[in-house]
Structure 1
């Protein structure tokens, strides 16, 4: 692991192309039951499937690159939304001090650009990227918001270790870009919209109010296991929420695997975890019931995906 030279595949599967290629799916059912962890051990040497995958343009992270991708089944149903990171992207990463210096000298960068932006989010310095997914017709997901957090972020003692936040957003980038914080959330979230076992998190710096975070929204956590599998934070799944309709009720707006740098450096094979689901969804579409972290040895890379999509029908009326 990590010793295979990175070679650009000759079949063109890392070539960036953008077009709508997911077919519409019939939306049936309103709830998905998905709890617990599914462990995998098969190494995906040729991942994702090259003939059914579309790629974004690359952006630079550390000494490597990352690209987003969308994969479909032979029949055109959604299979994966994901990001592939070169293993070299885990070396040469900027420190919090470097990111702070960039911002202070007016060279913070552009989150839509090839090297991202340096900004302070939730009391911590991050390098942030907004990278679109190849267009999709069947899922609500629009773009990837990826943040490198060299010193982690609150809460202390849990997520304050070097890690990467991988936001699979369901809102348009311009809408997410306009979210500012740290601010108190001014909306409620009806119980059916909360994923099973998930809860809102009081923010100490806001006097215990629920917090809206810049470029993201509110973060919901698994009440039983906020650090994810095991006793130490290695990988965990956050659901995000925000109020978009003006009716004072928040709804789910992103899915966020958080993975530590150390975990990404050492992962082998495939680790797959189920995504807890709400009873009611923001819109009709195909929603993921699992996320996975994969070693991709042929590319000397790691893939982080949402997958196992199930079509659902939005039945709630605002």
Structure 2
């Protein structure tokens, strides 16, 4: 039961992050991480007032599949967190590890990607990381989560 609650909580967290990170995709054509830093995220949250001027802070880049992942946070000029999310480069969802459930070590295994938030995000939010878990073979309960998915 604890595993189910942990899985549901992580899954819910990922869904929330993706909902708040809906943005126009900037396509990166280079694998060079320095170019990743030059990409700015513009987030439109329905009903939210987004100032014209804000800063975007990025967490460290993590290798994921054939690409990279990292966190970001948009902060207003008066030091308010406006939005935060996860940025994936092309290839991040390709060639992910194939680890059977019985061999999984959640949070620290090769199919678990721990994305640390920028210090500014840790200062302004109650979060310090986002974890993406890839489940190639799914997990219990059967009929719900037994297909390939992310937690």
TM-score range, shorter chain: 0.5 to 0.7
Q: What are the within-5 Å matches in structure 2 for residues 193-208 of structure 1? A: none
Offset, 1:54: 0.9
Aligned residues: 110
| Residue in 2 that maps onto 1:93 | 96
| Residue in 2 that maps onto 1:128 | 112
Structure 2 residue corresponding to 1:56, chosen from 42, 54, 59: 59
Residues 79-119 of structure 1: CA deviation (Å, up to 9, x unaligned): 1221111231111112225x95xx8xxxx8x93xxxxx23x
| Residue in 1 that maps onto 2:28 | 6
Q: Distance in 1 between matches of 2:36 and 2:114?
A: 19
| Residue in 1 that maps onto 2:10 | none
Give the match's secondary structure for 2:86. strand
Q: Distance in 1 between matches of 2:123 and 2:62?
A: 24
CA RMSD, Structure 1 to Structure 2 (Å): 3.4
Residues 288-311 of structure 1: CA deviation (Å, up to 9, x unaligned): xxxxxxxxxxxxxxxxxxxxxxxx
Structure 2 residue corresponding to 1:147, chosen from 116, 133, 141: 133
Offset, 1:65: 0.7
Q: What are the within-5 Å matches in structure 2 for residues 1-318 of structure 1? A: 6-7=28-29, 14-15=36-37, 47-48=41-42, 52-96=55-99, 100=103, 111=108, 117-118=109-110, 127-135=111-119, 136-165=122-151
| Residue in 2 that maps onto 1:253 | none
* Higher normalized strand content (fraction of residues): 1
Query: Do the aligned partners of residues 141 and 162 (structure 1) sit closer, same or farther apart at CA in structure 2, a change above 3 Å counting?
Result: same
Higher Rg: 1
Q: Is the 8 A contact 2:41 2:56 kept in 1?
A: no
Q: Distance in 2 between matches of 1:80 and 1:160?
A: 32
Q: Which of structures 1 and 2 has the larger relative contact order (alpha carbons within 8 angstroms, sep 6+)?
A: 1
* Higher normalized helix content (fraction of residues): 2
Offset, 1:51: 5.6
Q: Which runs of 4+ in 1 moved over 6 A?
A: none
Q: Distance in 1 between matches of 2:40 and 2:123?
A: 25
Q: Is the 8 A contact 1:63 1:91 kept in 2?
A: yes
Query: Do the aligned partners of residues 139 and 5 (structure 1) sit closer, same or farther apart at CA in structure 2, a change above 3 Å counting?
Result: closer
Q: Is the 8 A contact 1:13 1:55 kept in 2?
A: no
Q: Distance in 1 between matches of 2:96 and 2:79?
A: 37
Offset, 1:139: 1.7
Give the match's secondary structure for 1:15. helix
- Residue ranges of structure 1 left out of the alignment (5+ in a row): 17-44, 112-116, 119-126, 166-318
Q: Distance in 1 between matches of 2:35 and 2:57?
A: 7
Q: Distance in 1 between matches of 2:76 and 2:40?
A: 15
